Structure 1
Amino acid sequence: MKILIATAYDYPHAGGLSTHVATLKAGLESLGHDVDVLSFSDVSPVSRKLLAQGPSFLLNKLKKGKGIIWSHQMRKRFLQALIEKNKTKQYDVINAQDPFTTLAAIESGIPTVSTVHGYMTFESISKGSLDEGSAEAKYMQDVEVQAYKGTRKIITVDQRLRDYVKDLSGVEGTAIRNFIDTVGFKPNPEKKNEYRRKHGIAEDIPVIFVPRRLTKKNGVIYPALSLPMVLEKFPNAQLIYAGSGEALAEIKQIVAEKQLDGHVTLLGAVPHDMVKEYYALADVVLVPSVHSAGVEEATSISALEAMGSGSPLVACAVGGLKEIINNGEDGILVEEKNVEQLGEATIQLLSNPEEGQAMAAKAREKIEKEYSHIAAAEKYLEIYKSALK
């Protein structure tokens, strides 16, 4: 089968959607299928800036939401043109990764399957790009409905998103939970100190790693808020963030107010292969997701990667995280936004490394059985084939 995966966002980029696309592509190709990816990154830099990003910035100055709508509309046009240009490759199916790309793909006439990764409108509200209840928010939700009703098949990355799509549009989707490359993400305890030397981290320093985009729904302020409590027990502990986003300024403010300079490292967006090294060198990984403007975490790829890498994991009990983690068995779940519980769980794993490693070993077993990218690719193929009937 010849498959085109398309997205109106950048690819590759630091984020769950890009990771999903790369991992799905690898899984499908390992099964013998041809897979191409088209994304906003394939648009010329001049067109991106002059026709999408520049006008979007100016329109947002006039009214919040106008800019993001313009940007999405232009991305749809760009993707539609790219798909038309590549029709000679005779794709059997397009797997669109967002509602605007779905609409672009449908217009090509090529059978289209859509993967729903999140709550597009509510996530824009959560990030502050849209005002709740505004005409712009209604337009974005109308686009979602149009896309869900127009596509041949819908795949959602968790059950809650399946319910959301059904409630919003009346369309029944299929939930296939997120997955990881179980070969690429694996325990590497023998390289822990090697990676620490590479990144300038002493072997005896307790390391807490947060592999998250710095956005509100990811709860990234809470590790910094809990760090003073951890430092009382482990005064040389280091908190390391890998990601970028609009919450960066708030984290920096917390670091300044609580005098955490020297204990917090903000790496920004880092290559995916480097993230693997930080999983290996970390003592504890935090995935502190929260509810935000109706948005909750799906099956977190960061959590799956931590579990696959054999890293002791603490996560908040929201969304799909409650499904993939058995509290106290293969990770620790804490109440969202609860700084004290987050700090206590971190201290528990730092104080009892054997307990953490026992949980991590069980987590790895679960990943191998339930979250392999090969098994997921086989499920996607079944949906593709059903869309062609």
Structure 2
Amino acid sequence: MRILHVLDHSLPLHSGYSFRTRAILKAQIAHGWTVAGVTGPRQNEAGEAEAACERFDGLDFYRTPTPPVRRAGISEWREVNAFARRIDSAIEAFRPDILHAHSPVLDALAAERAAKRHGLPWLYEIRAFWEDAAVGIGTGREGSAKYRLTHALETRAVKRAGAVAVICEGLRDDLIARGVDPARIMLSPNGVDMHLFGDPAPCDAALARELGIHGAEVIGFIGSFYDYEGLDDLIAAMPVLVARRPDAHLVLVGGGPAEAALRRAAEASDARAHIHFTGRVPHDRVERYYGLIDILVYPRKRMRLTELVTPLKPLEAMAQRRLVAASDVGGHRELIRDGETGTLFPPGKPAAMARALADIFADRAMWDERRDVARAYVERERSWSSNISRYQPVYQSLL
């Protein structure tokens, strides 16, 4: 079977989207399928050099040239047109049996055009609704004209695709509420490539001393700094946590749009000496930071995006045998069983978060069992080597 994946972007750009894509393609190759990807115009927005084709990490990608910038609205349709043309040429070169389009919805619109021209079946996989993602990162407003239009386009694309995949039950339930037949929806949950995250990282004592946390009780976050991640609440929890656990320190690894505001909040905190920013870290060095942190904390705010979508980072932390604590929102409840694989605390309540974290530090006797149970859960239910088989019956039905 030959599968052409239609993607917003891919490696060498680093994002959760890119790493999920890599895991899917690698697992499909291991399954015996022949795969390639075609990426949209936004692949080049980060200043990457444009190329017609590129091989990275053993994976083949067809690239789409970036069209000239136009005003909002017109610009998106120019992207869809340019992307559809590039998918046409990739189909002629690769000769796929099926198109597998991944969100956002612009990719689905382009894939639908190309699939119709070539008489190919196509699957649409949704990782998040584009309109909700825009609200989450502060570039959109729920209920606005653009939000409603994008919502309508998403529903239209889902109903026109041969089949639909979603990463979690929250997205599935939302589509069913829109009138989509449940029999057309498959669940392809987030998973972990155990070859990348399979071996727990040892504590790097030299790095701990460099950060000033050697011998401390360390909580941390590794990822992108968006407002919906709730890192401002985590910083606000630190004075309460330090009052109960004087050796507690917070390490924030990464960067993003909220970084400047978070640094200001940390500097103004009574616990500022216990809060450490590392900046962005190359992906091949991230494991060193996992090894420093006792508890990975994911304090997402309660909003439509976080209620519907499951994140990838908590699974990676569990695979690294790190303890996990997270806000009690829908996306986290699909991954974390409170008191078994992790700890859930009320969203938007820094004092309650601090109390939950202090209680974990006070009960070290349960740490090894909690780590073992969480890692076993990832190996059993959330590794890509097992998840990938879910696609086969859907592909076969489309063919």
Query: Would the alpha carbon gap of residues 272 and 233 (structure 1) be closer, same or farther in structure 2, given more than 3 Å must change?
Result: same
- 1:79, distance to aligned residue in structure 2 (A): 2.5
For residue 289 of structure 1, what is the amino acid of its counterpart? R
Provide the rounded CA distance (Å) in 2 between the counterparts of 1:371 and 1:293: 24
**CA–CA distance in structure 2, aligned partners of residues 72 and 168 of structure 1:** 24
TM-score (normalizing by structure 2) = 0.85
Whether 2:77 is the aligned partner of 1:73: answer yes
SS at match of 1:164: helix
Alignment of 1:361 with 2:367, yes or no, is no
Structure 1 moving runs of 4+ over 6 Å: 46-50
Shift of 1:366: 0.9
* Counterpart AA for 1:39: T
Shift of 1:199: 6.4
Amino acid corresponding to residue 68 of structure 2 in structure 1: L
Point out where structure 2 has 5 or more consecutive residues left out of the alignment.
Answer: 51-63
Q: Deviation per CA, 1:184-230, whole angstroms, max 9, x where unpaired?
A: 213425x2135735965553122222123222332222211111122
Where is the strand percentage greater, Structure 1 or Structure 2?
Answer: 2
The counterpart of 1:104, out of the listed 105, 110, 122, is 110
Farther-moved stretch of structure 1 (299-308 vs 7-16): 7-16
- 1:159 maps to 2:169: yes
Task: Please report how far the alpha carbon of residue 45 of structure 1 lies from its aligned counterpart in structure 2 after TM superposition.
Answer: 5.3
Helix, strand or coil for the counterpart of 2:334?
helix
Q: Which residue of 2 aligns with 1:2?
A: 2
Look up the SS of the partner of 1:84 in the other structure. helix
Contact 2:109 2:157 survives alignment (8 Å)? yes
The answer to whether the Cα contact below 8 Å between 2:242 and 2:271 also exists between their aligned partners in 1 is no
CA distance in 1, matches of 2:171, 2:7: 18
Work out the CA distance in 2 between the residues paired with 1:201 and 1:385.
55
Partner Cα separation in structure 2 for residue 12 and residue 86 of structure 1: 19
> 1: distance between equivalents of 2:128 and 2:2?
26
- Residue 375 of structure 1 aligns with an amino acid whose one-letter code is S
Aligned-pair CA distance for 1:10: 5.1
The counterpart of 1:284, out of the listed 289, 295, 299, is 295
Distance in 2 separating the partners of 1:317 and 1:95: 33
Distance in 2 of aligned mates of 1:351 and 1:195: 26
- 1:268 CA drift (Å): 4.2
CA distance in 2 between partners of 1:200 and 1:274 (Å):
15
Question: Does the Cα contact within 8 Å between 1:207 and 1:238 map onto a contact in 2?
Answer: yes
Size of the aligned set, in residue pairs, is 374
* 2:342 is equivalent to residue 331 of structure 1: yes
2:197 corresponding residue in structure 1: 185
Is the 2:5–2:35 contact (alpha carbons within 8 Å) kept by the matching residues of 1? yes
**Alpha carbon RMSD of aligned pairs, Å?**
2.6
In structure 1, the residue matched to 2:28 is 28
Q: CA deviation at 1:375?
A: 1.1
Is the aligned partner of 1:256 residue 2:262? no
Q: Does 1:89 align with 2:94?
A: yes
- Decide whether aligned partners of structure 1 residues 248 and 192 sit closer, same or farther in structure 2, where only a CA change above 3 A counts: same
What is the one-letter code of the residue matched to 2:172?
A: R
Unaligned runs of 5+ in 1: 60-66
Would you say the 8 A contact 2:211–2:276 is kept in 1? no
2 CA distance for matches of 1:382 and 1:19? 24
Residues 101, 50 of structure 1: alpha-carbon distance in 2 compared, 3 angstrom cutoff = closer
1:368 deviates by 1.0
The whole-number CA distance in structure 1 between the counterparts of 2:160 and 2:125 is 13
Aligned to 1:62: none
Q: Equivalents in 2 of 1:195, 1:162: separation in Å?
A: 46
8 Å contact from structure 1 (residues 195, 280) kept in 2: no
Instruction: For 1:23, give the aligned amino acid.
Output: A
* Counterparts in 2 of 1:30 and 1:136: CA distance versus 1, 3 Å: same
Residue of structure 2 equivalent to 1:175: 187
Change (3 A) 1:123 1:250: same
Q: Is the 8 A contact 2:205 2:214 kept in 1?
A: no
The match for 1:204 is 215
C-alpha distance in structure 2 between counterparts of 1:361 and 1:204, whole Å: 23
Structure 1 residue matching 2:178: 3-state secondary structure:
helix
- For residues 193 and 276 of structure 1, do their structure 2 counterparts lie closer, same or farther at Cα, with a shift above 3 Å needed? closer
Question: Kindly tell me: are residues 262 and 15 of structure 1, through their superposed partners in 2, closer, same or farther at Cα, counting changes over 3 Å?
Answer: farther
- Cα shift at 1:178: 1.2
Cα 1:195/1:150, change in 2 over 3 Å: farther
How many Å apart are 1:363 and its aligned residue? 0.3
341-350 vs 300-309, greater mean Cα deviation: 341-350
TM-score (norm. length: structure 1): 0.87
Letter in 2 for 1:144: E
Separation in structure 1 between the aligned mates of residue 229 and residue 389 of structure 2, nearest angstrom:
30
Match of 2:391 in 1: 380
For the pair 1:307 / 2:325, whether they are aligned, the reply is: no
Q: Match of 2:154?
A: 144
Q: What SS is found at the alignment partner of 2:215? A: coil
Distance 1:2 1:299 in 2: 29
Partner of 1:64: none
Any conservation in 2 of the 1:211–1:287 contact (CA below 8 Å)? no
